[in-house]
Amino acid sequence: MRKKVVAGNWKCNTTLQEGVELAKAVDAVVAEKGAEDVVVVMGTPFTHITSVVDAINTERIGVASQNCAAEAKGAFTGEVSAAMVKSTGAEYVILGHSERRDYYGETSEILNKKLALALENGLTPIFCCGEALAIREAGTQNDFVINQLKETIFQLSAEDFKKIVIAYEPIWAIGTGVTATSDQAQDMHAAIRAAVAEQFGQEIADGVSILYGGSCNPKNANDIFSKADVDGGLIGGASMKAEDFIQIINAY
Ligand code: PEP
């Protein structure tokens, strides 16, 4: 049975103090109400990880970084390596987010280096893929997204691939308030799972968690999460409001 995952991505938001308060608020409600059968993750800025890890019960909630360096260590000013992330107590790393691909030129080649380092250091990559609006309008979104996966996580060994969480995030839905319909999400998730089956076999395809991301909120989460191939969400804006994030977690 594959895991259901609801992961927040705070992006470049919150001061350390605000972030710790937010994390504590989410942790308190998860402690009280439980998040049965759902793996909850908070993707915080690098600077916040240690304090968030210390402020919450990491048995209940995992912490993710939103990136890691493509090099193991050395003279790369400003970079944060996968080993450094792991040493903070984070267990996950978000890789391949469209904002990293588009604003920071992260190619498949760069992402493959990051993936290898993340896995070597025992981090679970939450690997993002997704198409821009023009590709959706041209109707070629499935080929585009599957090609993104072929160039990256499909290059991994089956053993390593089993450690990956996939997040399908149509770029036109990220931070725009426009959500993919639950049927659009299901179509893409089913296509991704079929491609995984072709590459790694049905058992591995049945085990991989595929999250939806893009303007997911307490109102639409239930409908989107009800689809057979949607195994949770990667949540941006709504993960920074404790009540909204908790409602999304409880949408299962
Ligand atoms: C994201 O950036 O991963 C995301 C899904 O953002 P939002 O929920 O704000 O659209």
Pair of tokens at residue 248: 């999304």
201 CA from centroid of ligand 1 (Å): 30
Q: For residue 112, what pLDDT band results from cuts at 50, 70 and 90?
A: very high
What is the best residue among 174, 211, 248 to mutate for testing ligand 1's pocket, by most ligand atoms within 8 Å of CB? Answer: 174
Looking at the predicted structure, is the pLDDT value of residue 33 above 80? no
Pair of tokens at residue 98: 């469209």
Q: Atom of ligand 1 at shortest distance to CA of 11?
A: 2
The pLDDT value given to residue 184: 98
CATH number for 7-243: choose from 1.20.1250.40, 3.20.20.70, 1.10.10.10, 3.40.50.10860: 3.20.20.70
Which has the higher per-residue pLDDT, 219 or 33? 219
Question: Could you report the per-residue pLDDT of 144-185, keeping only the tens digit for each?
Answer: 999 999 999 999 999 999 999 999 999 999 989 889 999 999
Which of 89-93, 192-196, 247-251 shows the lowest per-residue confidence on average (mean pLDDT)?
247-251
Q: Where are the domains of the chain?
A: 7-243
Looking at the predicted structure, is the pLDDT value of residue 36 above 80? no
Looking at the predicted structure, is the pLDDT value of residue 251 above 80? yes
The pLDDT value given to residue 132: 97
Stretch 192-200: mean pLDDT: 98
Stretch 74-102: mean pLDDT: 98
Known catalytic membership, residue 79? no
Q: For residue 104, what pLDDT band results from cuts at 50, 70 and 90?
A: very high
Looking at the predicted structure, is the pLDDT value of residue 86 above 80? yes
Residue nearest to atom 2 of ligand 1 (CA): 236
Residue nearest to atom 4 of ligand 1 (CA): 236
Share of the chain above pLDDT 70, in %: 100
The pLDDT value given to residue 250: 92
217 CA from centroid of ligand 1 (Å): 10
The pLDDT value given to residue 32: 84
